[in-house]
Structure formats: structure tokens, C-alpha cells
């Protein structure tokens, strides 16, 4: 029986030769991602059931990120619980404050993500890791508790939509623009509980950082997971980053695999895109929305806080001053150090930006850049729901680092190609 990448991984991890969409399976988990918001609740559940143990001390990766460094007493208590739990259970891969970073940037960077594995995390954007040919999906605290204790979870095998992305991206157009265009076409429920498999010449030309931006936002179309085939660019990244376990299994979709449908995109025709409030599906070409005044620009997050993103923003900001509050957030300590060593911080400082320690912070309306009533923010984050970054009467406009940087200079939505 022919299968997709997603189906092959789930079959292998449930001890079956084949699986099909809709089938219920119990799968072994290779990696569990834990952070400071959903993990304490899972810990409490396990303690209440007398199951305060972990199935494998080496398959759980823990980092505070949503409220790190702690912003108040409540977040400090969350960090304290996380720290005590990791020490008690001798969690091998624990990244406390000082080593902590935005989880979906930290895990690939630190070599915890491998092709062919099943990965879950207590965060909706865990689908990021599918860029490496892995089945990766977000779960809630209850499922997180079950996975921590048993190393297994049940799934309904998702059907797969194949997204064929072809064409060379135009100057000033990035992977963020691609995924915003995809979501604008199919809607926020267009891939509900389905695997989103991305392939084509556009993908093959992208860096791993750019690919992770696309799979990161699969959840914004309702996807169960996003996934991409493994190629030489993937393998090169893995060669540079794998530290803990270097062997892995590559799965490929069969040529005659059964897809729910196939969506084709001419990415060469895209222009910079901005998703207007209050849904990620509100994508509009910059030519239609340029000139809308902004109050803040935010460059960072698990979607666009990697070194490639900071370089793109710095190249546009160099020699200019920002007209609005502009916050730059490197996603991990290594990215922070690399940006500093490359003197990108000098550019941000000279432009009038604020540079933060690695944190999810403002992305979820936590701290380090939340919005007041009626304020508008052009943001490289992944979600622009009502009140997402602060006051329910504020607005978030999703865009690429290039668009966010150009808009910071002019204080209004701006085509980044003007500064390139």
C-alpha cells in the first residue's frame, strides 16, 4: 500500500506495516518538548495521579521561554516548578534561564530534531520540526502528561494535502510571504486535522531557517502537522547541529501516494504579503495595504527570530532610523551571541531599536512589547487573533522581517523592496 511521509512515520512508530487516514493508532514518541506554560499543569496532573515520573530522561527537552526571564511572581513560580521537576527527574536536556531560548528555534539548533521521528510538545507551533521530515505536532497539557509518563500517545492518522510550491522567489519575497499566501488561499481551517506536505522547487531553494517558518505556521491553517522531504540542505544542517544522536531514518512519500488534494502555487508571482487583523488568513499583497500607519514593529519569535531573519532586518535598517517602537528578539542565546558578533546589534542600536533577551514575550501578549488600546504592530510572529499581543482593541499585522524592518523606518506598512 502506498503512503505519504506522515503515514510512513506513524506506521513505523505504531508497529504496523501500513496505516491509512482516519485510523486510530498508538505511537511511540521520540522527543517531547516542554516549556514553562503547559508543562507545570502536566506535572500537577501526574503528581495527583501518583505518576510523578518520566518515561525516559533523555527524550524530554525542557526550556522556559514564554515568560523568560520571569516577568512577575507567577511566572517565577512556574520556572521554579520546572526547575525542581527537571532536577528531581534528572532530565538530561534542560535549558534553564541563561541557556533558555524560544523552544522551536532552540531544539533544532541544539540537535534534538531528526528526520523520521515522532515529536510532540505542549505548544501549538511544535509543527515547526516537520521541516526536517519528522512527524511533529502540538498537544495540550493532558496529552503532555500522558506522553511524559508513558512515551506513547494515540493519534488519528491525518489525511495529507500536498502543496506544490514552484518558482524562484522575487527579490524581497521570503518564506513568510509564501505561508501567509497559502493560508490566505485555504483559510484558517483549510487543512483542519490534516498533514500539510510542502514540496516543489521553491522549497528546495530555501534554507532550513526559511523552511521552518513555513512548517511553523501549518497550525494557522488548522493543520495537524506540516512536513517537508529531506534533501541535501536538510542533511547539511543536521551534520552541523546534531549532537546527541546522529543516526536517523528518512521517509519519502510514494509517487502514487493518495492525497486528499493537491494545491499548486506559482511562488514567482508573489509579492511581500501582510496578514491583516484578526486572522492569519487575512493576507494581502503589500501593494494593497502600504501606507497603513503602525505604532510598533516586532522582529523575533519562533517563526522569524533566527539569525537569517535578523540579518535580513539589519540589512534594511542599516543607515536608517526607526520611526516607531521597534523590538528585536533573537530566538536563542546562540543566535543572540552570533548577532552581536556580526555587529547586527550595532545596526539595531544605531537605528533606535530595542534588543531583548530570547523570549516569546510579546508574541502572546505576555511582556516585552505588548500593545495598548488601538495600537497597531507589524510583527514577524505567527498569530494575530484579537488581543494576541495585548489590548483586545489593538491590531497585529503579520509580515516578514524585511517588511517589518522597512515599516519600522517609515512608521507605516512599507514595501521592503524600497530599501533593498
What are the boundaries of each domain within the chain? 5-265, 273-419
Low-confidence ranges of the chain (pLDDT < 50): none
Q: Is 102 left (phi over 0), alpha (psi -120 to 50) or beta?
A: beta
pLDDT at 180: 98
Q: Say if pTM beats, i.e. exceeds, 0.75.
A: yes
The cell numbers describing 262, all together, are: 493537491
Can you give the pLDDT at residue 300?
Answer: 97
Give residue 52's pLDDT. Answer: 87
Same fold, 5-265 and 273-419: yes
CA distance 347 to 370: 23
Nearest CA to 285 out of 354, 209, 184, 375 is that of 184
User: What is the pLDDT, as a whole number, of residue 1?
Assistant: 83
Segment 20-52, tens digit of pLDDT: 999 999 999 999 999 999 999 999 999 999 998
Per the CB < 8 A criterion, the answer to whether 274 and 289 are in contact is yes
pLDDT of 280 reads: 96
In angstroms, the CA 373 to CA 367 distance is 15
CATH 3.30.365.10 fits 273-419, yes or no: no
pLDDT at 243: 85
CATH code reported for the domain at 5-265: 3.30.499.10
Helices 39-48 and 73-88, axial angle in degrees (round to 10): 60
Cis-peptide, bond into residue 69, ω within 30° of zero? yes
Amino acid at each position: 500500500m502506498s503512503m505519504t511521509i506522515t503515514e510512513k512515520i506513524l506506521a513505523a512508530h505504531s508497529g504496523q506495516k501500513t496505516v491509512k487516514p482516519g485510523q486510530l493508532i498508538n505511537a511511540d514518541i521520540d522527543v517531547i518538548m516542554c516549556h514553562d506554560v503547559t508543562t507545570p499543569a502536566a506535572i500537577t496532573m501526574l503528581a495527583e495521579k501518583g505518576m510523578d515520573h518520566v518515561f525516559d530522561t533523555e527524550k524530554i527537552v525542557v526550556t522556559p521561554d514564554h515568560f523568560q526571564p520571569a516577568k512577575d511572581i507567577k511566572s517565577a513560580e512556574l520556572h521554579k516548578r520546572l526547575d525542581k521537576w527537571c532536577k528531581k527527574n534528572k532530565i538530561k536536556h534542560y535549558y534553564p534561564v541563561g541557556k533558555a531560548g524560544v523552544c522551536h528555534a532552540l531544539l533544532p539548533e541544539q540537535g534534538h530534531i531528526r528526520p523520521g521521528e515522532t515529536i510532540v510538545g505542549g505548544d501549538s507551533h511544535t509543527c515547526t520540526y516537520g521541516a526536517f521530515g519528522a512527524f511533529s505536532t502540538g498537544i495540550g497539557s493532558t496529552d503532555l502528561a500522558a506522553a511524559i509518563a508513558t512515551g506513547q500517545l494515540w493519534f488519528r492518522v491525518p489525511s495529507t494535502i500536498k502543496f506544490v510550491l514552484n518558482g524562484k522567489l522575487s527579490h524581497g519575497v521570503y518564506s513568510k510571504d509564501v505561508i501567509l499566501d497559502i493560508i490566505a488561499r485555504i483559510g484558517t481551517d483549510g487543512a483542519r486535522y490534516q498533514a500539510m506536505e510542502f514540496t516543489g522547487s521553491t522549497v528546495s531553494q530555501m534554507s532550513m531557517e526559511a523552511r521552518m517558518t513555513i512548517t511553523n505556521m501549518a497550525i494557522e491553517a488548522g493543520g495537524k502537522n506540516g512536513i517537508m522531504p529531506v534533501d541535501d540542505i536538510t542533511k547539511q544542517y543536521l551534520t552541523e547541529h546534531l549532537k546527541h544522536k546522529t543516526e536517523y531514518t528518512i521517509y519519502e512519500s510514494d509517487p502514487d501516494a493518495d492525497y486528499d488534494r493537491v494545491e499548486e502555487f506559482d511562488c514567482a508571482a508573489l509579492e511581500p504579503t501582510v496578514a491583516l487583523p484578526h486572522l492569519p488568513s487575512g493576507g494581502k499583497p503589500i501593494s494593497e495595504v502600504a501606507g497603513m500607519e503602525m505604532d510598533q514593529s516586532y522582529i523575533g519569535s519562533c517563526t522569524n527570530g533566527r539569525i537569517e531573519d535578523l540579518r535580513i532586518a539589519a540589512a534594511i535598517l542599516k543607515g536608517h532610523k526607526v520611526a516607531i517602537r521597534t523590538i528585536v528578539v533573537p530566538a536563542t542565546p546562540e543566535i543572540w551571541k552570533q548577532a552581536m558578533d556580526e555587529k547586527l546589534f550595532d545596526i539595531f542600536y544605531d537605528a533606535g531599536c530595542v534588543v531583548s533577551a530570547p523570549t516569546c514575550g510579546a508574541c502572546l501578549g505576555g511582556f516585552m512589547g505588548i500593545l495598548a488600546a488601538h495600537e497597531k504592530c507589524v510583527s514577524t510572529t505567527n498569530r494575530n487573533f484579537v488581543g494576541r499581543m495585548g489590548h483586545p482593541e489593538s491590531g497585529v499585522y503579520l509580515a516578514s522581517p524585511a517588511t517589518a524592518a522597512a515599516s519600522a523606518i517609515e512608521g507605516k506598512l512599507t514595501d521592503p523592496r524600497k530599501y533593498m
